[in-house]
Amino acid sequence: MINLEKLSDRDLPPLKPMVIRLWQLLNAPNTRLQDIVEAMSAEPVLCARIMAISNSPLYRGLDEITSPQKALVRLGLNEVKGIVYYLTLADSVTKNAFPPSFSVRRFWTHSLSTALLSKKLIQYYPSLFPMSPEDQDGTYLAGLLHDIGYVVMATLMPAEFTTMTKIWEAGGQDPMDVEEKLFGVGHPLLSAKALKLWKFPKNVQLAVYAHHRSVAQDSPPSIMLIKLADYLATKAGYHFNPMFTADMKGLSVPLFLLENDYQPVVEEVALKVETLVNQAFA
């Protein structure tokens, strides 16, 4: 069983000091562009991937991007921030030893699509999710990391994780009951604990913790946003745990959020998902 009280940051995917420094720069209020460029340049592989993304059909301009500074200008700071979070975390997780039953690509595809949908839903439907700029900044990370508890399960208890995936294939059981029985904790609480150890904001921790819970219409917008994004990602075919079906997730999404046609947003996000996932696993 996983003891939350004894869980430490050593049990999480290891992050390089330079990656943490880059995260801090991207979130600091008055960071100079040159500081970010220098931090990116200290990670050559990351730098090359960001430039490759900036030259992809999704972002391509008239001129080829040949430097991290030009990539930052073309993509914009907020776009770069999301890409850096995704690529650095994907690198950290893929370097861990996982049981064969853990599909790293499927995990990151679901996580990334949820993150990008969270970001786009705020952009296109601001009246549905009234949030402060600070809360908005945390929505991408909440979407990207809402299932990170599965990573902790797979690395700390690989045999039990393999058992769980066999149960997923067989079906017929409540997925949260299965997690509680095998690990002593469900993945939402474990994910929130990981974010606490990583010192992410409390509003991000709360949204991740509540992403499978039934919520009232007056619940914090950040919680309703991640629930809707998680549901739409699953409905689009981007899932990780197949027992958490789109129909099951939809039951806990407030009805007023399901009255809109989100298909154009989903299709736009799908293009980015394919580009970024292919780059992370190139």
Query: In this model, does residue 14 exceed pLDDT 80?
Result: no
In this structure, are residues 253 and 231 in contact, taking their beta carbons and an 8 Å threshold?
A: yes
Q: In Å, how far are 5, 45, 56, 169 from 76, measured between CA atoms?
A: 40, 20, 15, 42
Query: In this model, does residue 17 exceed pLDDT 90?
Result: no
3 state SS of 231: helix
Residue 262, pLDDT score: 95
Query: In this model, does residue 234 exceed pLDDT 80?
Result: yes
Lowest mean pLDDT across 87-101, 190-204, 229-243, 253-267: 87-101
Q: Provide the angle, in degrees to the nearest 10, between the axes of the packed helices 77-94 and 68-75.
A: 120
In this structure, are residues 156 and 2 in contact, taking their beta carbons and an 8 Å threshold?
A: yes
Residue 218, pLDDT score: 79
Helix %, strand %, coil % of the chain (to 5) = 65, 0, 35
Burial class (CB within 10 angstroms; exposed 0-12, middle 13-18, buried 19+) of 266? buried
In this structure, are residues 125 and 118 in contact, taking their beta carbons and an 8 Å threshold?
A: no
